[in-house]
Amino acid sequence: MFRLRPVLRCTPLSRRYATASGPHALVFLEHREGAIDSGSLSALAAAQQLGGQVTGLVVGSPEQVKGVLEKAKKLKGVSNVLHSASEQYSHALPETISPLFEKLLGENSPYTHVVSAHSSSAKSILPRAAARLDLPAISDITSLEHEASSNATTFTRPIYAGNAIATVKAPSSLRVKFFTVRSTAFKAAAEDQSTEAEAQAIDPVEVADPPTQHVRTDLTKSDRPDLGSASRVVSGGRALKDAETFKSTLEPLADVLGAAIGASRAAVDAGYADNSLQVGQTGKVVAPELYMAIGISGAIQHLAGMKDSKLIVAINKDPEAPIFQVADVGLVADLYDAVPELVQKLK
Amino acid sequence: MRPSAVRLLNILVPVKRTVDYAVKIRVNPDQKGVDLNVKHSMNPFDEIAVEEAVRLREKLKGEVKSIKVVTIGPPKASETLRTALAMGADSAIHIEVPDSAPAPEPLSVAKALRAVIQKEKDNGGVDLVIMGKQAIDDDAGQTGQMLAGLMDWAQATFASKLVVDPKAKVADVTREIDGGLEEIKCRLPLVLTTDLRLNEPRYASLPNIMKAKKKPIQKLTPADLEVDLTPRLETLKVTEPPKRVGGGKVESVDELITKLKEAGITPVKS
């Protein structure tokens, strides 16, 4: 009896410790054509920095989930993969996917954080789900720190088109902390063939008569690297005159460098380039090894999308163009002379 | 009850007064925020939202019954409402908060908008909310989705094209998504958020600016709507982003290539 007493005394203590268990992140793994989006892999890397357990979530049509699940199980740092398959999930409509999040995150759920890429699809779903649970969300974070003792998480995120950085604390009073991750700020998590996470099927939440129907998706076809994840980007602005000139000038350079092509808003609005190529506050945010800005003046909104690039090269004939203030290497020249010469000499 | 054949639309357009997009902002030395003693104007995405509402009425003629704009902001935000009224909105609601109040978070804004929509029930309800996809100050991009979630309505984010059929009470929307475009069909009521390419906002003409002065602005307080706008997230500080050091200019393409090589950038073999 004497020996038992300390054990008994410890019990309530250890139980309290168990309820204040470490963070447990639920990471929304997005996929396209059987591959997990690189943005989701960066979100996964961010989730790992919380220092706790990480569960992946794969949602899609039955065929989509089958292929992606195997890949998700091999991801480094994922201990568990939840998957939910339904024809209703085939196009990731917020109206049909949000109820699944609500179910997973009910009062007694183990999850302390919900994490996703800052992608167009997750940006549409996560805030809707968060609001349904009466929780705020934090967008486009670039760093985070979790304090396990207080269960508070501190994030940094760019505001005012990246001209200021806000440090925001999500206090412990927020049962679940929702956040989306700027993919260029976190190195994508890798596959690890030696591990295999446990998979667990979750019944889909069928929405009777959803208010939104998917009609069609038109993806811009391209053999080039994806703009969001390319290590080199060649980007053109309004100085490229028209769509034909845009292509004929930038493509040879992008080819010789193995780069993705981007565009300023002016070039997109003028119809020179597809809007999926827009780099900036309202387009994509990129941070490649090399960013070449060709005929781009460098408005605040454009800089917001590329100023974290390792090496910025600008070619512009206006020596006063603001792009030269951020460029590591600037060349004041007519791009119609300089770009072909550059291509020639690089070959 | 109106005869069901004529279904008139009521449109609500939430707008925000933000620092003008062309202003180069400065972070305050106390790291509490940015210098707000600068030019403000309507959030550019909200201008697109107002424009779309007005165009919808021009297209549908008599089928749009009302366009109401709403803002939550300090006394000066009424100027933003006047701009929207001059662009063609009929009336406005100003949920006034003191200058000193912290900026409300998207979830609080969505709750206030929900309260406004519930209040509008007496005026025939709201069928369509058109709002910007993000505000260019906090860059959060959440309010529309949150409102749709709170109302349990359809949502169409990042819209670049909107076609409304008031009789069938549906909207066909083209959305800008990563990698391309997506078309969806939404049942009204709907929350739509605007992308840049939805339209080109008009300038208010002088006669319309004069007329806008006579249009009604209803003032409300958060208490009237029974909403609490206190932030739940704590902003610890606001700092300058790390400065990029411009590397200076080169004289020729050859020098540029040398610099590229120094940085380890070499052409790919094809």
> How much is the ipTM here?
0.94
Which residue, among B9, B16, B40, B11, has the nearest Cα to B166 in the 3D structure?
Answer: B9
Residue B117 and residue B141: Cα distance in Å, rounded?
Answer: 20
Least confident of A95-99, B72-76, B111-115, B175-179: B175-179
φ, ψ for residue A82 (rounded to 5)?
A: -90, 140
Can you give the pLDDT at residue A250? 96
B179 closest CB neighbour out of A128, A219, A268: A219
A65 alpha carbon, distance to own chain's centre:
20
Structure tokens at A37: 């989006």
User: What count of residues does chain B have?
Assistant: 270
Read off the pLDDT of residues B209-232 as tens digits, 9 standing for 90 and up.
999 999 999 999 999 999 999 999
Is residue B74 a contact partner of residue B20, using CB atoms and an 8 Å limit? no
Q: In 10 A of CB A17, how many CB atoms?
A: 10
φ, ψ for residue A159 (rounded to 5)?
A: -125, 170
Determine the Cα angle at A265 with ends A260 and A267, to 5°.
75
Q: Hey, is the C-beta of A176 within 8 angstroms of any chain B C-beta?
A: no
Tell which of A128, A176, A347 to mutate to test the B interface (max B CBs under 10 Å): A128
* Residue B2 clears pLDDT 50, i.e. is over it: no
Q: Hey, is the C-beta of B163 within 8 angstroms of any chain A C-beta?
A: no
Average pLDDT, chain B: 94
Mark which residues 30-49 of A lie under 8 Å from B by CB: 32
Determine the Cα angle at A213 with ends A208 and A219, to 5°.
145
A304: closest CA of chain B, how far (Å): 11
Per-residue pLDDT band for B270 (boundaries 50, 70, 90) equals: low
B contacts of A173 (beta carbons < 8 Å)? 232
Quick check: is B3 in a domain? no
Over residues B44-63, mean pLDDT = 96
Which residue, among B178, B242, B231, has the nearest Cα to A138 in the 3D structure?
Answer: B231
Nearest CA in chain A to B263: A311
* Residue B39 clears pLDDT 60, i.e. is over it: yes
> Are the beta carbons of A331 and B256 separated by less than 8 Å?
yes
Is residue A118 a contact partner of residue A182, using CB atoms and an 8 Å limit? yes
Which domain CATH number covers B192?
A: 3.40.50.620
B contacts of A331 (beta carbons < 8 Å)? 249-253, 255-256
Enumerate the β-bridge partners of residue A24.
Answer: A53
B contacts of A328 (beta carbons < 8 Å)? 246-247, 259, 263
Nearest CA in chain A to B138: A159
End-to-end Cα, chain B, rounded Å: 71
B139: closest CA of chain A, how far (Å): 6
A255 closest CB neighbour out of B22, B257, B270: B270
Quick check: is B47 in a domain? yes
Quick check: is B261 in a domain? no
> Are the beta carbons of A341 and B187 separated by less than 8 Å?
no
A19: closest CA of chain B, how far (Å): 23
Residue B144 and residue B46: Cα distance in Å, rounded?
Answer: 12
Can you give the pLDDT at residue A220? 82
Read off the pLDDT of residues B122-154 as tens digits, 9 standing for 90 and up.
989 999 999 999 999 999 999 999 999 999 999
Please state the domain count of chain B.
Answer: 1
Quick check: is B106 in a domain? yes
Beta strands (DSSP E) in A132-231 are 137-141, 143-147, 152-159, 164-170, 177-181, 198-201, 212-219
Can you give the pLDDT at residue B6? 56
Q: Which domain holds residue B157?
A: 9-244
3-state secondary structure labels for all residues of A243-300: HHHHHHHHHHHHHHHCCEEEECHHHHHCCCCCHHHEECCCCECCCCCEEEEECCCCCH
Can you give the pLDDT at residue B36? 95
Residue B204 and residue A242: Cα distance in Å, rounded?
Answer: 31
B256 closest CB neighbour out of A129, A219, A342: A342
Contacts 24+ apart (CB under 8 A), A118-121: A118/A39, A118/A180, A118/A181, A118/A182, A118/A183, A119/A30, A119/A37, A119/A39, A119/A40, A119/A180, A119/B178, A120/B157, A120/B158, A120/B175, A120/B176, A120/B177, A120/B178, A121/A30, A121/A92, A121/B177, A121/B178
Can you give the pLDDT at residue B247? 81
Is residue B88 a contact partner of residue B57, using CB atoms and an 8 Å limit? yes
Enumerate the β-bridge partners of residue A77.
Answer: none
Can you give the pLDDT at residue A228? 85
> Are the beta carbons of B21 and A258 separated by less than 8 Å?
no
Mutual angle of helices A335-346 and B253-262, in 10-degree steps = 50
| A14 Cβ contact partners less than 8 Å away, ≥ 6 residues apart | none
Q: In 10 A of CB A147, how many CB atoms?
A: 13
Quick check: is B26 in a domain? yes
Is residue A234 a contact partner of residue A117, using CB atoms and an 8 Å limit? no
Structure tokens at B180: 């391309």
Place of tokens 């996917």: A97
> Are the beta carbons of A171 and B196 separated by less than 8 Å?
no
Q: Hey, is the C-beta of A123 within 8 angstroms of any chain B C-beta?
A: yes
Q: Hey, is the C-beta of B157 within 8 angstroms of any chain A C-beta?
A: yes
SS3 content of chain A, % helix, strand, coil (to 5): 35, 30, 40
pLDDT means per 10 residues, chain A with 347 residues, are: 47 44 94 94 97 97 95 94 97 97 94 97 98 98 96 97 96 97 93 90 96 94 86 96 95 95 95 93 92 96 93 96 94 96 93
Is residue B63 a contact partner of residue B7, using CB atoms and an 8 Å limit? yes
3-state secondary structure labels for all residues of chain B: CCCCCCCCEEEEEECCEEECCCCCCCECCCCCCECCCCCEEECHHHHHHHHHHHHHHHHHHHHEEEEEEEEEECCCHHHHHHHHHHHCCCEEEEEECCCCCCCCCHHHHHHHHHHHHHHHHHHCCCCEEEEECCCCCCCCCCHHHHHHHHHCCEEEEEEEEEEEECCCCEEEEEEEECCEEEEEEEECCEEEEECHHHCCCCCCCHHHHHHHCCCCEEEECCCCCCCCCCCCCEEEEEECCCCCCCCCEECCHHHHHHHHHHCCCCCCCC
B184 closest CB neighbour out of A162, A215, A265: A215
Q: Hey, is the C-beta of A150 within 8 angstroms of any chain B C-beta?
A: no
Over residues B62-69, mean pLDDT = 95
A185 alpha carbon, distance to own chain's centre:
9
The SS3 of residue A128 is helix
Quick check: is B252 in a domain? no
Structure tokens at A99: 């109820």
Over residues B114-126, mean pLDDT = 95
Mark which residues 168-207 of B lie under 8 Å from A by CB: 172, 175-187, 190, 195-197
Which residue, among A40, A75, A42, has the nearest Cα to A188 in the 3D structure?
Answer: A42
Is residue B144 a contact partner of residue A128, using CB atoms and an 8 Å limit? no
Residue A28 DSSP label: E
Mark which residues 75-104 of B lie under 8 Å from A by CB: none
B233 closest CB neighbour out of A169, A218, A275: A169
Quick check: is B256 in a domain? no
Read off the pLDDT of residues B231-240 as tens digits, 9 standing for 90 and up.
999 999 999 9
Quick check: is B262 in a domain? no
Residue A221 and residue B17: Cα distance in Å, rounded?
Answer: 39
Mark which residues 130-149 of B lie under 8 Å from A by CB: 133-134, 136-143, 145-149
